[in-house]
Structure 1
Amino acid sequence: MHFLVSQCYSWEGYHLVQALLEDGHEVSGLHGQSLSDRETHLSMYIGRHAMFREGVQDTEYKAHVSFFGTAERSVESKHHIDISYAADDTPELEKQILLPILYGEWMARDEEAVQWHGKRILFDDEYFHRNALPIKSVMQTISKLLSGDGSMNNYRFYTKEVCPEQEDRAVIALTRNIKDDLSSLHKHYAQFRFFYE
């Protein structure tokens, strides 16, 4: 299957492209006119993959996935899906996947906190411990949803601890080992700190 991902070099886009490529899919990627240092760094990881191409290809995509309402509506695809942190009722958005606070390699962070949705949230904050999910698991799940039978729903991700019983969209609850995950991430940050700054 072939997917188009807008904002492919953003932190979230990079992890989705990685998950799609690992699942054996072809990916075309779109990005803004100028890349930040972090986006340039991430582009080097996926830009050389044989199944990845920059720009719109002459094909019909299984889905066009955008982050934060950035999709160009002129692209031919069977589905348009937006991935965001907050619900958007814009009529042009066919399907939307809502994310919780995420953590993972190359995230915007410092030694003590993650930068998320315009906020600095400490790693030992109760909100972070109750709600945060690893981006790799979330994007792997989204990759599986995208390559499914084609009947996409609106989804929202939660940790098992805070997952509500009923919701206005399909709920996906994931488990994680936050203590081990953070230990691994702090080691990664210590090793590659230069690339985080």
Structure 2
Amino acid sequence: MFLVIGCFNWVGYHLTDALLVNGDKVVGIDYLDHTKKEELVLNIGRNSNFTFYETIDNSKLKRLDPKAIFVFDSTIDFNYKEFSNVRCFTCMHEKRARNNIIEITLPFLYGEWMERMEMGYHQDQAFIRFDSQLFSEDAVYVKDFVQALIQLVDASLLPDSIRYYTPEQAMKKSINKRELIILPSMSNEKRFKKVEVFYRKNSEFH
């Protein structure tokens, strides 16, 4: 079983969906504070392996026995002390002094359900145009990213922080043990065409 904090955060949703597709059980925690999240609930809420809470108290936490924890929303009240022996992957970079917490630096991500504009999208104070070299060489499809993230769960040894790169980025620098390469399932140009079809079909939610 996996615990996903912020399961309807954009990346959290794709991770939750990937785990359920793999046949894993997932307990998800999130606030249903806008219509897009409510739409995402409909996509996975009927899966018998998925249990959802808008809030979770300490008594419920103590009964859980997750294989790993993923945190995508720092605004959700979550007691790390209850899981001191469980690997916790987070993109929040809160610098918590616990040796079981692995901080993940997100690459430039794109894919279904993301917040975007016609010509591109914002991430980490950068604007990535879909027709740019930055997008072509440095962006990572979100489903490729979550599959790479899932593979870390069973890794025998991990550093306290990890950064992902594309193969094109890796060719320009030397990669150390805290940095991993994501191999894309197809080129960004081909994948982007498929994502565009999705957005045209679901334009009312974006």
Q: Percent identity between the aligned chains?
A: 27
Question: In the TM superposition, what are the counterparts of 1:22-37 in structure 2 within 5 Å?
Answer: 22-32=21-31, 34-37=32-35
Aligned to 2:114: 107
Aligned to 1:18: 17
Instruction: Read off the aligned partner of 2:187 and give its amino acid letter.
Output: N
- Rounded to whole Å, the distance in 1 between the matches of 2:79 and 2:35 is 24
Question: In the TM superposition, what are the counterparts of 1:58-69 in structure 2 within 5 Å?
Answer: 58-67=63-72, 69=74
Pick one of 98, 105, 130 that aligns with 1:123.
Answer: 130
Instruction: Read off the aligned partner of 1:125 and give its amino acid letter.
Output: S
The SS at the match of 2:18 is: helix
- Rounded to whole Å, the distance in 1 between the matches of 2:149 and 2:116 is 24
- Rounded to whole Å, the distance in 1 between the matches of 2:148 and 2:123 is 21
Is this contact kept in 2: 1:20–1:26, CA < 8 A? yes
Deviation at residue 115 of structure 1 after TM alignment = 3.2
The runs of 4+ residues in structure 1 deviating greater than 4 Å are 68-71
Aligned to 1:52: 50
Aligned to 1:79: 87
Pick one of 36, 39, 50 that aligns with 2:37.
Answer: 39
Aligned to 1:180: 190
Deviates more, 1:72-81 or 1:130-139: 72-81
| TM-score normalised over the length of structure 2 | 0.81
- Gaps of at least 5 residues in structure 1 are none
Deviates more, 1:51-60 or 1:166-175: 166-175
Is this contact kept in 1: 2:5–2:73, CA < 8 A? no
Is this contact kept in 2: 1:80–1:95, CA < 8 A? yes
Is this contact kept in 2: 1:108–1:116, CA < 8 A? no
Deviation at residue 36 of structure 1 after TM alignment = 1.7
Is this contact kept in 2: 1:155–1:169, CA < 8 A? yes
The SS at the match of 2:90 is: strand
Deviation at residue 168 of structure 1 after TM alignment = 6.0
Deviation at residue 194 of structure 1 after TM alignment = 0.7
Instruction: Read off the aligned partner of 1:63 and give its amino acid letter.
Output: A
Matched, 1:144 2:144: no
Label 1:121 to 1:141 Cα distance change in 2 as closer, same or farther (>3 A).
Answer: same
Deviation at residue 92 of structure 1 after TM alignment = 4.4
Instruction: Read off the aligned partner of 2:28 and give its amino acid letter.
Output: G
Is this contact kept in 2: 1:133–1:174, CA < 8 A? no
Question: In the TM superposition, what are the counterparts of 1:90-105 in structure 2 within 5 Å?
Answer: 90-92=96-98, 94-105=101-112
Instruction: Read off the aligned partner of 1:23 and give its amino acid letter.
Output: N
Deviates more, 1:23-32 or 1:148-157: 148-157
Aligned to 2:142: 135
The SS at the match of 1:121 is: strand
Is this contact kept in 1: 2:119–2:130, CA < 8 A? yes
- Gaps of at least 5 residues in structure 2 are none
Aligned residues: 191
Deviation at residue 118 of structure 1 after TM alignment = 4.8
The structure with the largest helix share of the pair is 2
| TM-score normalised over the length of structure 1 | 0.85
Aligned to 2:201: 191
